[in-house]
Amino acid sequence: MRRAGLFGVPWVRPWSWQAFLLGLVVVGLSAVFQGICVALGAKLYFAAFLPGLFVLGLVAGAPAAAFAALLTIPLVWWAFMPPFFEFNALTSANTDSINLFCLLAVLLIGLADLCRETMTIVNRGGLKRSGESAATNSQ
């Protein structure tokens, strides 16, 4: 692990076993939080998993976040979609929820990866000017 310059967040190498283990931990913690939300009456199946995916994408990179997103879909299908703790045929509403989660997960993981790359550039001292570009007006 190395320290990031922004808020002192520790980073994990993207393809390391620590990144994927962190992905499992994030999915587990999100599942516990989602279980609490379901017990209180919430019907949003993937709501607790999206913030965790974004933070995981920032800290551990896109591969671990994609792994966590792929792990989330069967977990939510099994544990949080009625009938609980069974794999049954999906209704059209459940299929739409999974499709929407996939879309949001791709967008959030992409945004987290861009933020991670930006923090890397900033930590190295920013972009260096390589000279005049064709778009620059030298008047």
Residue 58, SS3 per DSSP: helix
The residues spanned by each domain of the chain are 2-123
Point out the least confidently predicted range of 36-45, 58-67, 90-99.
36-45
The overall average pLDDT reported for the chain is: 88
Better-predicted residue by pLDDT, 43 or 135: 43
pLDDT digits (tens, 9 = 90+) for 73-129: 999 999 999 888 999 999 999 999 999 999 999 999 999 999 998 888 887 887 777
pLDDT of residue 119: 86
pLDDT of residue 122: 84
Asked if 22 and 59 count as a contact pair (C-beta separation under 8 A), the reply is yes
pLDDT band at 5 (very low <50, low <70, confident <90, very high): very low
Task: Please state the pTM of the whole predicted model.
Answer: 0.83
Better-predicted residue by pLDDT, 10 or 81: 81
Q: How far is CA 54 from CA 25, 64, 84, 92, in A?
A: 14, 11, 27, 27
Task: Give me the residues paired with residue 10 across strands.
Answer: 3
